[in-house]
């Protein structure tokens, strides 16, 4: 599967680059990491151009799904 990003994806690429620089500058900022992760997922989807196999779909889902510990008394 070859990734295909077009001219319409330039803003998304710029967003991801800007967030990557911000995360590099402040790696302790969880909010930046969340936004960066979402941008990477969006780029992955845009690059797949509808040609997403099961492994890619699972990877994208893993990026989007927040990992939180279970709370409460079982």
Please state, in angstroms and rounded to a whole number, the distance separating the CA atoms of residues 29 and 45: 25
Residue 24 forms part of a structural domain: yes
Residue 69 forms part of a structural domain: no
Residue 72 forms part of a structural domain: no
Domain that holds residue 28: 8-64
CB-based contact 40:16 (threshold 8 Å): yes
Residue 34 forms part of a structural domain: yes
pLDDT at 30: 93
> pLDDT of the chain along its 74 residues, tens only?
445 666 777 888 888 889 999 999 999 999 999 999 998 888 877 776 655 566 766 766 766 656 566 666 65
Q: How many domains does the chain have?
A: 1
Residue 32 forms part of a structural domain: yes
Residue 73 forms part of a structural domain: no
What sign has the CA pseudo-torsion 24, 25, 27, 30?
Answer: negative
Q: Is 47 helix (H, G, I), strand (E, B) or coil?
A: helix
pLDDT at 32: 93
């Amino acid at each position: 599967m070859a990734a295909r990003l077009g001219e319409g994806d330039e803003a998304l690429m710029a967003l991801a680059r800007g967030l990557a620089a911000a995360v590099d500058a402040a790696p302790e900022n969880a909010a930046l990491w969340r936004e960066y992760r979402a941008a990477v997922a969006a780029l992955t989807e845009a690059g797949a151009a509808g040609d997403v196999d099961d492994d890619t779909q699972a990877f994208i889902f893993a990026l989007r799904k927040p990992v939180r510990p279970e709370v409460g008394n079982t």
